[in-house]
A = this chain, B = another copy of it.
Amino acid sequence: MERKRIAIVGVGLIGGSLALQLHEKKISSKLIGVDANKDHAAKAVELELVDETWPLDEAIAASDVVVLAIPVDTVVTLLPQILDKIDQQIVIDLGSTKSQSIEAVKDHPKRGRYVATHPMWGTEYSGPQAAVKGAFENKAVIICNANESDPDALGWTKAMYKKIGMHLLEMEAKAHDLHAAYVSHISHITSFALANTVLEKEREEKAIFELASAGFESTVRLAKSNPAMWVPVFMQNKVNVLDVLNEHIEQLLKFRDSIEQENFGDLKKLIEDANTIRRIIK
């Protein structure tokens, strides 16, 4: 594919990692960073994630493709403004929720230039120094409401994701947000709540530090994730998140009841049911 000038709006964990991959795969002729946080912008250049950083308007004008890797509340406000300013540029967002961003521009005359995507990769760290080489390889990327994007914009976006090693799925935004609540958002809530549980109950931090096993670390690691990213995700996906969260509380109550009543058979059955996740997760 012909190399393009690409602006990355938000040069943190996600934008920075994508920038590394666009450069490595020779997809970009130039990478322009945009970041409201001046320290992040400077760090992104220092770490050579992007070639230079520019203000948003100049970056848009100088680019063929504009990638939004910013919190989903900012996508909703910034996306229509960016579509107002573009000519034939392609605009791609990478946010963890899709319905509200798509809704925000559904009647915009430039709607066709926008491709709504969600690459299924992230870590609990944030900022440009958290960017990872080869991050997206062998992961899924979901493209939502693909038929609302212009064929050339959609085609380029798909080719780009394939070239960085992702496998493509298409889905309507509503279905995406529902599935994302199950396979991503709820994991973050349980992890945050688990951290708060242990911090609340375990006054001897030294004991946690010394005793915490790999099991504890894996269930609690997402609790280090950034509130600036996750507050708007949970709020935008409120209905689905609450639905899954209520179910999760019900499931925990089943464990509580079986332990409280010393019902060995029920407890064993609950664990055996959980074991069937092996069918799905290797």
Contact = CB atoms under 8 A, between A and B. Distances in A.
B190 A194 contact: yes
B215 A187 contact: yes
A201 B244 contact: yes
A223 B277 contact: yes
Nearest to A243: B201
A278 B221 CA distance: 9
A217 B210 CA distance: 24
A184 B198 CA distance: 10
Given A223-B274, A242-B256, A268-B231, A196 B262 contact: no
A205 interface: yes
A247 interface: yes
B248 A197 contact: yes
A277 B183 contact: no
A199 B243 contact: no
30 contacts: A122-B214, A122-B215, A182-B207, A183-B207, A183-B211, A183-B213, A184-B211, A186-B194, A190-B190, A190-B252, A191-B219, A192-B274, A193-B248, A193-B252, A193-B274, A195-B274, A195-B276, A205-B279, A209-B281, A218-B218, A218-B219, A218-B221, A218-B222, A223-B277, A227-B272, A234-B259, A245-B259, A246-B256, A248-B252, A252-B252
